[in-house]
Amino acid sequence: MIKVETEVLVIGRGMAGVMAASTLAKNGVDVTIVAKSYGTTALSSGCLDILGYIPEVQGVAQPPFSGFKYLVVSNRNHPYLIAGEGDPKKAEDIIREAFDSLPEQIKNLHVGSVENNSWVLTSFGTLRPTAFVQKPLEPAIITGEKESILLTGIKGLFELNPVFASSIAMKDLKSRSLGYVKVKPAYVSIRSLEGAQYLAIPLVSTVLEEDEEFDEFKKELVKLAKRENPDTILLPSIFSTPNLVEKMKELEDACKCRIGEVPTPPESASGLRLQRALNNVCSTLGIKVFHATDLKPEVENGIVKRIVGTRRTLLFTEARKIVFEAEKYVLATGDLIGEGITCDVDEELNVAFRETVFDLPLYIPEGPIATTDPFNPAGQNFSKIGINVNSEMQPVDSAGRVVYENLFAAGSIIGHYDYNAEKCGMGVAITTGYKAAKSILSRR
């Protein structure tokens, strides 16, 4: 059995957990992270959304904070408003403060501003609003200037189908009176992957790490650029490593046009880059990260005393235990994807949602939990499932009572919002992670 003592234990190593942990560590708090794996952050397209849409009123938030006037009417329980104690002005301030205190590694990865939403062309051909994109995705921002874009897929890689996506894009652009922005489909092939049985982004980026392969790829792109003479070539998100991102400049010089990535479904390079940056934040600040599963709390008199976890072995044998003892705890375990929440189905096919570590009371919206349209602009009820918190980010029960005095929460484990329909995922993670840390600091 291993015993870890720390002032604050953060559960989860996604955006919310690392935001809370880094804010605490920068203020001299001894903080440790435990997580069972990567979560949604690593699977995301790595943009930092603040607020793009207000699904309840089908409104667009441009700039992001302009949406708050709808939010106070349609969803007073939104975590932003909770963090701002119900006051949209206070919410704005805390969001600004949180983004200001983002760790350098995260800031350096992105371009953008909390005061503005950019429209980014995605691998589906749709335009999506976001406040910050990673630098390699900057060319995918549709600025409104006249430009010709070559949306370029990689043969055999399904994550970007340029023919399909560019036809969607042209429709979308026309509907926004941006029909003068041209999006054309193209393909490049990577020779050594032509026969691959299982082509996936990680393979593409590994192959590109080889100098000769990269040069071949560059030649293909140059040929394409010469033929089509575009302003911008957009590829799926494939430049996983810092080395490859560095080499994108080389491609731009050779092609004499802008080269960028579009937000791409998992596993996209941009999600991995964000997770790697978060990992770097932890190692630079000396925040230890432990890996453990089956976390169970031990509680005494309304206080979390310790968390007991399991370190898995190489066969399903009696596992090794690990115990964490902290003064305060931050739950940043994400939603159904990160597995902060799971869904148990019994023999009668009844569905029950459960918060995985503390079995905290959950908010579950009324009505069907999902609609059949995955792109339903009104969002999906299951996305809104999560715990309730007070303005100090302490989990509360349905009557508003604090569940455990020394427990705080951050990120998509919190309910009452739909990151996908609203485009606010990382913004909520960053803001609530920051607020949870502030609450802990104010109690020292």
Partner 1 sequence: MEEKLANINMSIARNAEKHYELYRKMQENIDGCIKCNLCLSVCPVFKATGGSGYAGPRHLSAELLRHLLEFAPLVYDSSYLCTVCRHCEFVCPGNVNTPVAVLFLRRLLDSLKPPYKPAKDVSKGLETLVKLGNPYNTPPELKGEWLEEIDGKEGGKAKVLGWVGCTSSIRLPELAQGFYESMKKILGEDFTVLGSREWCCGKPAFLLGGIEAARILAEESNKRIAETGANIIVTPCPACYSAFKYEQREIYGVNPPSENILHFTEYIHDLMDKGRIYFKENSGNELPRKIIYHDPCELGRGVGIYDEPRDILSAIPGIEVLEFDDVRQDSVCCGGGGGMWGIYPEISMSVARLKVKEALRKGAEAVVSACPACMLNFKYTVLTYDLPVKVLDISQIVAKALSEKK
Helices (H), 237-386: 242-255, 269-285, 381-384
Both tokens of 412, joined, read 């998509």
Is position 201 an interface residue for partner 1 (rule: CB under 8 A)? yes
DSSP class per residue in 236-260: -S---SHHHHHHHHHHHHHHTSEEE
Quick one: how many helices (H) and strands (E) in the chain? 14, 22
Tell me the DSSP string of 151-193.
EEEETT-TT--HHHHHHHHHHHHHHTT-TTSEEEEEEE--GGG
Which segment (110-118, 228-236, 241-249, 360-368) binds partner 1 by CB under 8 A?
241-249
| Site residue total, partner 1 (CB under 8 A) | 48
Residue from 316, 344, 377, 399 binding partner 1 (CB under 8 A)? 316
The β-bridge partners of 16 are: none
- For residues 229 and 342, which CB has a smaller minimum distance to partner 1 in the complex? 342
* Cβ-based neighbours of 189, under 8 Å, separated by 6 or more: 154, 155, 156, 220
Judged by CB under 8 A, the stretch of 24-32, 61-69, 206-214, 403-411 that binds partner 1 is 206-214
The single residue listed with the structure tokens 């010709």 is 148
Structure tokens that stand for 17 in this block: 């957990």
Contacts to ligand FAD by CB under 6 A: 11-17, 35-41, 43-49, 263, 266, 295, 332-334, 337-340, 356-357, 411-412, 419, 425-426, 429
Q: ∠ CA(84), CA(52), CA(369), 5° rounding?
A: 85
Q: Is residue 349 part of the contact set for partner 1 (CB under 8 A)?
A: no
39 or 112: CB nearest partner 1: 39
Query: Binding string, 143-182, against partner 1, x = CB under 8 A?
Result: ----------------------------------------
Partner in contact with 241, chosen from partner 1, ligand FAD, none, beta carbon below 5 to 8 Å by kind: partner 1
Question: Which of 231, 220, 219, 214 minimizes the C-alpha distance to 151?
Answer: 231
Q: Which of 60, 168, 170, 203 binds partner 1 (CB under 8 A)?
A: 203
The binder of partner 1 chosen from 63, 339, 364, 381 (CB under 8 A)? 339
Q: Select the residue interacting with partner 1 from 243, 253, 298, 352 (CB under 8 A).
A: 243
Q: Which residues bind partner 1 (CB under 8 A)?
A: 2, 36-40, 42-43, 192-193, 195-203, 206-207, 209, 240-243, 266-267, 272, 276, 279, 283, 289-291, 293, 311-318, 320, 337-339
